[in-house]
Structure 1
Amino acid sequence: MSESSNSTYKIEPLKGGDNYRTWKVKMIDILTDLDLLEYVDGSRAEPADQSAKEDWKKKDRKALSTIRLRVDDSCLIYVEDSKTSKEAWDALNDMYEAKGPIAIVLLRRKMFIVRCEEGGDIEMHIKLMRSYQSQMNTLGQKIEKADFSMLLLTSLPDSWDSFISTFGSTDLEDSNKVIQRILQEASRRNERSANSDAVLTSSSKPSGKSKFNPRITCYCCGRLGHIAAEC
């Protein structure tokens, strides 16, 4: 891919700790595709040879621009004085990357406390749980598939208890299949709810026609069979 393609990558700019992890994953892909990641991670150090050094500086400056152009103005202060792409990358990592025991404790709290509300978006909830699992893996705290399956099922609303009871111990060993079954059940429930709403709406609509009643006299026109409101 040509270097001019740098401008074609569109991602949400880094706005802080909330979107840092997603931003970092996408930036690694962009820098890899542009053959610039080794300048950012320090694996390609500045050479001593003068002619090679000029090419290195040009590539490193491009990597630095690639990073800074995808940082929101509110966070630009942390990298605006960076001289190299690695310096900028490390500064953002030090600022926003969760590290150490406290990060693990806080993340574990989130995973064990989070619950999907009744009627909530199941797919979004699964994505949230997946992000927690991935973050734990990054922190060196790998969560096995069976454990993640149990955490996920535990976080579902109470109305899902009958569905959860259909799982056996061996079913939990493949969390991807557990997620697939949850999404299928969510789709089925949403469809059933939509059909129920449609039936209710249809049954509650007035027919638009009133029955003829010879005992009723309209006070508007004086004729039999209807009331003034229907005249």
Structure 2
Amino acid sequence: MEESSSSSSATMLKLTASNYSIWKPRMEDILYCKDLYEPLQLLGQKPEGKSDDAWSILNRKAVGQIRQWVDQSVFHHVAQETDAYKLWTKLSSMYERKTAQNKASVIRRLVNLKYRDGRSVTEHLSDFQGLINLLTNMKMVLDDELQALVLLSSLPDSWDTLVVSLSNSVSQGVLTLDIVKDSMFNEKARRKEQSVVAESEALVSEYRGRTNNRKFHRRDKSKVRSRDGSRGRSKTRKDLECYHCGGIGHMKRECRLFK
């Protein structure tokens, strides 16, 4: 039990004004793992057979555990609470408002959520699910197909091929959220692989271009050296050829027939 509770706390985050939908289920897990969930489960009512002192201590432990994971900006709202259930319901009333204005605000954020090329698909799906959870906490449950369509509409124009492909391939025209998620991960992996291949081909092409340039410059320098004779092999007299008589061993100016 101790190892399990330590693992839960290791991944815990502090409650702020914007992460209640994630914080709440994680906090519930910690309270269950530490056997501190009874005051919330019983709606603050002391069970039979438990003394007032034991109940009070259990509440203070639960309150202490909850407030340990509350940000400083939120802490002063619950600083005086000693009853775990009252503390829990106060946080719920602060961050689970179900007014039409708050619902409209979350819906607007969900509709305006857009994926940007180059961003992690996992991060985008996390933002999407966070907004879905906020709506669920407000008793607004979107069915699976509607969630799938909203997620698909968050993709940019560069993903139109995937959108059209999914729309034409689903059975009876009904998309599921899992299908859209899996397709997004597969598309991201495919694009990453294409990018690696293109980069590799560009490097090979650049390497070949440099190699060819080096060979060309070497041949060019070789020709220049041969023409000016600065570094070429010097000719001996037996290699000389007369341009007048065609004889070997002398030049034109030394040729007797020319003279």
Q: Would you call these one fold, judging by a TM-score over 0.5?
A: yes
| CA distance in structure 1 between the aligned counterparts of 2:32 and 2:180, rounded to whole angstroms | 33
* SS state at 1:25 partner: helix
Q: Does 1:73 align with 2:75?
A: no
Q: What is the TM-score with the length of structure 2 in the denominator?
A: 0.73
The answer on whether the counterparts of 2:44 and 2:86 sit within 8 Å (CA) in structure 1 is no
Give 1 or 2 for the bigger CA radius of gyration.
Answer: 2
Whole-Å separation in 2 of the counterparts to 1:72 and 1:199: 51
- Structure 1, gaps ≥5 residues long: 225-231
Contact 2:28-2:37 within 8 A present in 1 as well: yes
Residues 172, 178 of structure 1: 8 Å contact kept: no
Compute the RMSD of aligned alpha carbons. 2.8
Range that drifts further, 165-174 or 192-201: 165-174
Could you tell me how far 1:105 is from its partner in structure 2? Answer: 0.5
Matched, 1:123 2:122: yes
Q: Number of matched residues?
A: 218
The amino acid that maps onto 2:19 is: N
d(CA) in 2 for partners of 1:115, 1:125 = 8
Q: CA deviation at 1:84?
A: 1.5
The aligned counterpart of 1:46 is 46
Which residue of the partner structure matches residue 16 of structure 1?
16
Moved more, 135-144 or 197-206: 197-206
Q: CA distance change for structure 1 residues 93 and 223 in 2, over 3 Å: closer, same or farther?
A: farther
After the TM superposition, which residues 149-228 of structure 1 pair with which residues of structure 2 at under 5 Å, given as runs?
A: 149-167=148-166, 168=168, 170=171, 172-205=174-207, 206-207=210-211, 210-211=214-215, 212=218, 213=220, 214-215=222-223
Tell me if the contact between 2:149 and 2:175 (Cα under 8 Å) persists in the aligned partners: no
2:41 matched to 1:37?
no
Give me the identity figure in percent. 24
Within 2, Cα distance between the matches of 1:25 and 1:106? 22
1:223: how far off? 6.1
| Distance in 1 of aligned mates of 2:133 and 2:231 | 76
Q: Which has the higher helix share?
A: 2
Change beyond 3 A, Cα 1:193–1:5: closer
Unpaired runs of 5+ residues, structure 2, are 233-259
